Amino acid sequence: MQLPYDFPRASVQPLIRPWIPKWRLEDLALWGGPPAFPEPLHVGRPNIPDRRRFFERLEDILDRRWLTNNGLYVQEFERKVAAMLGVKHCVAVCNATVGLQVAAQALGLEGEVILPSFTFVATAHALRWLGLTPVFCDIQPDTLTLDPDRIEELITPRTSGIVGVHVYGSVCDVDRLEALAAHHKLSLMYDAAHAFRCSREGRMVGGNGQAEVFSFHATKVLGTFEGGAVTTNDDEVDRKLRRAISFGLNREDEVVAIGTNAKMPEVSAAMGLTALESLDEWLAINRSNYAAYREKLEEIPGVSIIPFDGPESRNYQYVIIRVDEERAGLSRDTLVEALRAENVLARRYFYPPCHLMKPYRPSASGEPATLPVTERVSSQVAALPTGTAVGPSEIQQVCQLIRLCVEHGREIGERILLRNRVPALPTA
Ligand SMILES: *Cc1c(COP(=O)(O)O)cnc(C)c1O
């Protein structure tokens, strides 16, 4: 396979790291030896765009002394994102968490809101912070997104809306959610933090529901240090969003609604515009990283990579594996522990699911939510390092480590148990 690594710009070349080959159980750093990688391999290491272009923009911002409040760079960034996604309006914001809040407010959400538990906790926090009650719904086992068949049983007279999450860039069943929302007169919006430049049936994410919320956090495929955007085709929602992100002010500087400060500063927009210029290269690297992982992992029993097949546009922001403990002989947690010892900082993403986190666990008297698919998937998944800081030789080594762990799965499990056992007190 031809890998697109012959870029002239240093910024898109992966770091070349020396690594220690490991072939035997005894080589594993779990037992105290040196890690395979002398330096950590991170999930979500930021992609850095052309810094000369970024500094030029930054100089211009400083020369103009227009640092924030809907500046020229924010306006250009919003135009370019809207055009790229084929959506009428894009409102740049300071981050996606606050973006979710202003979107929820613009849609008039109140009372209970249905959302998946299998998401980053920010989705739930954003709603709870507004005084809304998150009602967690299970996911489909194949797409890992909201299960439309499980939604109606959760609707009560207090339900006002549905928030879908395009987990790992796997786009929700937007048609069925749309139909459900329309039938029950509910609002519908999406957390699209994972889905920048992902499509469903050829349509880019951005125009689904009444609003979609993107994250441009440094760890996402397109980073603006901190940042995000809310996109919508609805003029009224756009008007409310623009008001909300700037203290509830209208164009005449009258306060006409409760607002907050969710503005994206110019420096972030400059970073975003520069990143957009490298985005196609980054997506190509992510795609070949994904293909390299898939090829190597295919041969390992019990470990599978979440498939992204077919003609849709994907960002491959995350490489997610599922560990079937029965077949692999070791659990996801043990595998992650072994990889982390080797400086492969794999992450349990998402674990635990939101409904089992302390602030969202039902009170002692309440019925605990049972979300069997969510709980099973959450115990099996792990994110592996990808992005422009990772190249084919590292991927080969990461996969070799996984293979080694699976080959000795049961033995590793037993040795960890022994190691963690508290030594018995000496008897006199
Ligand atoms: C990253 C992320 C967020 C939060 O984005 P911020 O821009 O960091 O606030 C929300 N939801 C999901 C699914 C995310 O991955």
Residue 164 alpha carbon to ligand 1 centre in Å? 13
Residue 243 alpha carbon to ligand 1 centre in Å? 22
Q: Which residues line ligand 1 (CB under 6 A)?
A: 95-97, 119-120, 122-123, 165, 191, 193-194, 215, 217, 228
Residue 194 alpha carbon to ligand 1 centre in Å? 8
**Is the model more confident about 8 or about 381?**
381
Give yes or no for a contact between 126 and 174, defined as CB atoms under 8 angstroms apart: no
The pLDDT, as a whole number, for residue 307 is 87
pLDDT in tens, 351-366: 999 999 999 987 666 6
**% of the chain residues with pLDDT over 90:** 84
Label each residue of the chain as H, E or C: CCCCCCCCCHHHCCCCCCCCCCCCHHHCHHHCCCCCCCCCEECCCCCCCCHHHHHHHHHHHHHHCCCCCCCHHHHHHHHHHHHHHCCCEEEEECCHHHHHHHHHHHCCCCCEEEEECCCCCHHHHHHHHCCCEEEEECECCCCCCECHHHCHHHCCCCEEEEEEECHHHCCCCHHHHHHHHHHCCCEEEEECCCCCCCEECCEECCCCCCEEEEECCCCCCCCCCCCEEEEECCHHHHHHHHHHCECCECCCCCECCCCCECECCHHHHHHHHHHHHHHHHHHHHHHHHHHHHHHHHCCCCCEEECCCCCCCCCCCCCEEEEECHHHHCCCHHHHHHHHHHCCEECECCCCCCHHHCHHHCCCCCCCCCCCHHHHHHHCCEEEECCCCCCCHHHHHHHHHHHHHHHHCHHHHHHHHHHHHCCCCCCCC
**% of the chain residues with pLDDT over 70:** 93
Residue 123 alpha carbon to ligand 1 centre in Å? 7
Which of 91, 95, 120 to mutate for ligand 1's pocket (most ligand atoms within 8 Å of CB)? Answer: 120
Nearest-CA residue for ligand 1 atom 6 is 96
Which of 43, 100, 215, 351 to mutate for ligand 1's pocket (most ligand atoms within 8 Å of CB)? Answer: 215
Nearest-CA residue for ligand 1 atom 5 is 96
Ligand 1 atom having least distance to the Cα of 100: 10
pLDDT at residue 12 greater than cutoff 70:
no
Alpha-carbon distance of 216 to 95, in angstroms, equals 7
Nearest-CA residue for ligand 1 atom 8 is 217
pLDDT at residue 396 greater than cutoff 80:
yes
The pLDDT, as a whole number, for residue 50 is 96
Q: Which two tokens stand for residue 377?
A: 């998937």
> Exposed/middle/buried for 372, CB within 10 Å: 0-12, 13-18, 19+?
exposed
Mean pLDDT score, 212-231: 97
Domains defined for the chain, CATH in brackets: 25-45+279-346+385-421 (3.90.1150.10), 51-276 (3.40.640.10)
Ligand 1 atom having least distance to the Cα of 220: 1
Give yes or no for a contact between 179 and 193, defined as CB atoms under 8 angstroms apart: no
pLDDT in tens, 41-69: 999 899 999 999 999 999 999 999 999 99
Residue 66 alpha carbon to ligand 1 centre in Å? 28
Largest separation between any pair of C-alpha atoms in the chain: 85
The pLDDT, as a whole number, for residue 424 is 66
pLDDT at residue 17 greater than cutoff 90:
no
Which of 191, 226, 271, 315 to mutate for ligand 1's pocket (most ligand atoms within 8 Å of CB)? Answer: 191
Mean pLDDT of the chain: 92
Alpha-carbon distance of 92 to 111, in angstroms, equals 27
Residue 216 alpha carbon to ligand 1 centre in Å? 8
pLDDT in tens, 400-417: 999 999 999 999 989 988
pLDDT at residue 3 greater than cutoff 60:
no
Residue 281 alpha carbon to ligand 1 centre in Å? 23
Residue 109 alpha carbon to ligand 1 centre in Å? 20
Mean pLDDT score, 130-146: 97
Q: Residues with Cβ < 8 Å from 184, sequence gap 6 or more? A: 152, 155, 159
> What's the pTM value of the predicted model, to 2 decimals?
0.93
pLDDT in tens, 279-327: 999 999 999 999 999 999 999 999 999 988 788 999 999 999 999 999 9
pLDDT at residue 15 greater than cutoff 60:
no
Ligand 1 atom having least distance to the Cα of 95: 7
> Exposed/middle/buried for 365, CB within 10 Å: 0-12, 13-18, 19+?
exposed
The pLDDT, as a whole number, for residue 365 is 63
The pLDDT, as a whole number, for residue 10 is 42
